[in-house]
Structure 1
Amino acid sequence: MLNNGRRYEVSSLNHFHAPLPWFYLLANGLLLAGLTALFLFAPKVWFANLGIELVDELGYTELKAMYIGLMGTLTLNSLLGAVRERFLDPALDLCLLSYAALASVRAWEILVEGIFDSFTLQLLAAELASAAAVAVALIIRLKSST
């Protein structure tokens, strides 16, 4: 196309695709915030829903550290990346690594160890979908910055 007699390339990314990385992080952050709140306010109920029943109350401290502490950190990371440009790329990278790692370990347990139920399969599907979505967001981000 010409602009004042100069030739320029039209980006293949339209206005819908460009905000996808921010939208992904916002949606991911809000989803994780909801899950974190569930584990914060009714942890024993949600751990029981996951099939986790401990013989010692001290075990809940460890589970809370992971489910509330780590999930809360991922929540803040996602929301910060959604509202601050300088945190966007690190937030996307961490989400990709996190969901890929979760899916890898869960797939190992399913395929190699043979330990699963329908809920485990649903969690694996959600983790694979999340990893794929953040990978697409990263690709769009990389293409929009070139």
Structure 2
Amino acid sequence: MTERPHLSQVPNRAFLAGALLLSVALGGCAGLGDSAVSAAFVDPARYDLYDCQQLETERKSLASQRKQINDLIAKAETGAGGAVVAEVAYRNSYISVQAQSKLADEVWARNKCDRPSAEAMPAPPPMGARAPLRSGSAVY
């Protein structure tokens, strides 16, 4: 006569199979931040109309946000179950900011913002023109 698995073993096997499936699914999401799929978190035309000064401000803001989220993740990971809390609470925000930062960097490079443009440089005063007098600069 063949032996059948004990009834208490069936739920354990189902639990293990479910846990394995869940870990594989979550493991697939872990690498999402650096892949092409993360571009789905940001509008590709978001920074198209930004000039270099606006891009510089936006890039600084995104770097600050990324640092703040990394600090929050590090803080969450120190607590009990922190890795799970960090994933659930902060992962989407981190992916979104990372994708925005990557797009802003691409637009920065495409617009050649690392070199000062003629628009960014103040025009020299015309020859023979005097500087306007400022209030308080006159001698009485």
TM-score, L = length of structure 1:
0.35
- Which structure: larger Rg? 2
TM-score, L = length of structure 2:
0.37
Which structure has greater helix proportion?
1
